[in-house]
Amino acid sequence: MAPTSTQPDLTATSRGYQFGERGSHNISLGGPHPYRRVTFENPLDARKHMLEHGAAVFRVFARKGYDEGEAGHCSLRDPIDPDTFWINPLGVHFGLIRAEDLVHVTEEGEILPDGNQAPINAAGFAIHSSLHKARPDVNAACHCHSIYGKAYSAFGKELEIINQDSCMFFKNQAVYTDFGGVALEKDEGSAIAKAAGSANAIILQNHGLLTLGETIDGAAYLFTLMEKSCQVQLSVDAAVSKGNPRILIPEEEASYSAFVTNDPDTLYAAFQADYNYQLKLSNGDFLFAK
């Protein structure tokens, strides 16, 4: 039946992305989305919210098994001084990190006095300082040595668009192929930022995964999705090797699915289920003391 004035045409040939609102607002039926992104008039409140959610990200990553010794780091651009960022201290297990443990650092590597006075991962600093400088649209970045991300990174190629979830990476992923060992120098970080271009999901060949976002929540959700997508991709590749053909999602459908899910509000909302579960599991001990 042809669409009427009350039935918007969302067919593949005439979507045009002109109907309704983009993102998480479309997902909620029967009321507003319960986890719409919070905004603050007071930048100190914005910082507190950001750091507490950043601490939660580390707890979630620990629960999902993304920790690997001293490797792995997430950064958060400061809402008061955007030329600085916060990052996890060196040698503290993701599962123990609290909001007050995060370290405030300048783009030059100076540890600022209003955060934890602890050393940070030099490779993490090299990568994140370059990313924050190169991408003013990015307020957070996540990089871990997760199992399936490390495994898939050995191929040095993008994920295929083989299911609805992987549409999140449609024209939103890049591969950094020039692995130069542990990224202790800022030149390596600059090269990664250049390879990323405008993408928010990056496969670091022979290294692991890196995701970027407007919020730490969004970057973290994208990372968890990318890690699962690497797991699925490896499973599909194994099946293909046994003679089972894969079917890729057509470009127009992939583009539409990406459009309605891959925006900052939707990515933020998608992480809140994990945030609230972690809050319950840890009885909120990663939050600032009241």
Q: pLDDT tens digits, residue range 57-83?
A: 999 999 999 999 999 999 999 999 999
Rounded CA gap, 35 and 53, in Å? 13
More confident residue, 86 or 24: 86
Closest CA to 147 of 211, 64, 218, 220: 64
- pTM: predicted TM-score of the whole model, two decimal places: 0.90
Scanning the chain, the segments in alpha helix (DSSP H) are 24-27, 43-63, 122-134, 147-153, 186-196, 216-240, 251-261, 264-281
Scanning 33-179, the segments in alpha helix (DSSP H) are 43-63, 122-134, 147-153
Sign of torsion over alpha carbons 213, 218, 219, 225: negative
Q: pLDDT tens digits, residue range 20-62?
A: 345 554 677 777 777 888 889 999 999 999 999 999 999 999 9
pLDDT band per the 50, 70, 90 thresholds, residue 244:
confident
Residue 20: predicted pLDDT: 38
Residue 9: predicted pLDDT: 35
